[in-house]
Every structure is written in C-alpha cells, then in structure tokens.
Amino acid sequence: MKYKIALFLLLIFVLQSCQNENEKRLAENAKEAKKNEKIFNNINKAWIFIDEPINEVSEQNVKGWTEWRDFLKEIGDKPRKTIGAFQKKSTAISKKAIALNNNIPSQFNQPQIKARISILITKVKMMDLFIHLNQIPDDKVAFLIGEINKELVSLERQMDKIVEKAKIPKEQGEADFLKMLDTTRAIPSSAPPLDQNLPRVE
C-alpha cells in the first residue's frame, strides 16, 4: 500500500513538473515572438533608402549605367511581412552593390568614385551581416541604413562634381602643364652621374 501511494505521488509530481515545463516553454516562446516582432517593426520603420537620383547627373546614369539602375531599383523595393524577407532583400542589395564596380562609365572611372563605391559596398555588406545574425541588432541595422543613404548622396554629389569640372574650359597650355606635373611621365635625366671621387666645393 505504501508503495502505491509513493508511486501515485511520484506520478503526480512528474505530471506537475511536465506541465510547469510546458508553461515555461510557452512563456519563453511568447517572449521570443514579442522580441522578434519588435525587431521586425524597428527594421521595417528604418528601411527607407534614397532610391531616387538626387541630381541630373545621377538621373542620366540611371539610363546609361545598368548596374547603377539595378542597384537603385533593388533598394527601392521594400520587403514586407517577415524578417526573412528583409534578409533576402539585404543579400540581393549586397550583390547589386558589388556589381557597381563593373562597367563604371569612363567619365566616372576615377579614384574618387571608386573609393565611394567601395565604402558603399562595405556598409551594405555590414548591414547584410548584421541582419543575418541569430540575435539581430536592429539598432545597428537601422544605423547602417542611414549610413548607406549618406554614402549614396556622397557618391551622387561626386559624380555631379566630375561633370561640372569637365564643363570648365581649359586654358591654352593647361593640358601640357598638367602633363609636366605628372611625375610618372617625367623624362629620366640623361646627364652622367657625378663621380664620387672628385673634390667638392662646400
């Protein structure tokens, strides 16, 4: 009889602990779902990119530079519904950003533009990295979206500067003068080297 009572009490204890475990698990799941919803809402609110050209030069590039047009189109399409959609979109944006290094129009194939494209790619890749972490730091993703927008504006302004500078007429002989300043084009000295054994006047 004592064994039956002990077994009965043990069974009740096991059932009670299982119920407590289930309640704990459900509470943790609800907490995690609430946290994920908050992260989603924060990223959804921050996900605003400058996808429209800010000046005439950038607008013309949309017509002629395929990679630039594709990149702006990609950042203009906002994902909906889930964090997974934002993760997929982030990966797609990263691929389009990397493609900006291809087929840069000859007018803009300059160090200033390449440097800004590299910075833009780095920030897009960082955003893609953060959004794919198990614990997504939504504040960092939101910050990087702002940084990407700043880099886009900087890149477009630099394009505009290059176009404006090209419109300024060069003065007569300026091209030759600039060539003379270029040390890579300097003519090596044809004078014989000085003899070290000759006396020098000091």
Angle subtended by helix axes 66-76 and 83-99, to nearest 10: 170
Q: What is the mean pLDDT of residues 38-45?
A: 86
Confidence of residue 81 (pLDDT cuts 50, 70, 90): confident
Q: What is the pLDDT of residue 197?
A: 67
Confidence of residue 9 (pLDDT cuts 50, 70, 90): low
pLDDT of 147 above 80: yes
pTM of the model: 0.69
Higher pLDDT, 182 or 150: 150
Range with lowest mean pLDDT among 44-53, 132-141, 181-190:
181-190
Range with lowest mean pLDDT among 5-19, 62-76, 158-172:
5-19
Q: What is the pLDDT of residue 126?
A: 92
* Distance from C-alpha of 103 to C-alpha of 82, rounded to nearest angstrom: 34
Residues 6+ apart with CB under 8 A from 134: none
At 64, the amino acid letter reads: G
Q: Which tens digit of pLDDT belongs to each residue from 22-41?
A: 667 777 767 777 888 888 88
Give the SS3 label for residue 101. coil
pLDDT of 189 above 60: no
In angstroms and rounded to an integer, the radius of gyration of the C-alpha atoms of the chain is 32
Q: What is the mean pLDDT of residues 77-97?
A: 88
Cβ pair 151, 120 in contact under 8 A: yes
Cβ pair 131, 87 in contact under 8 A: yes
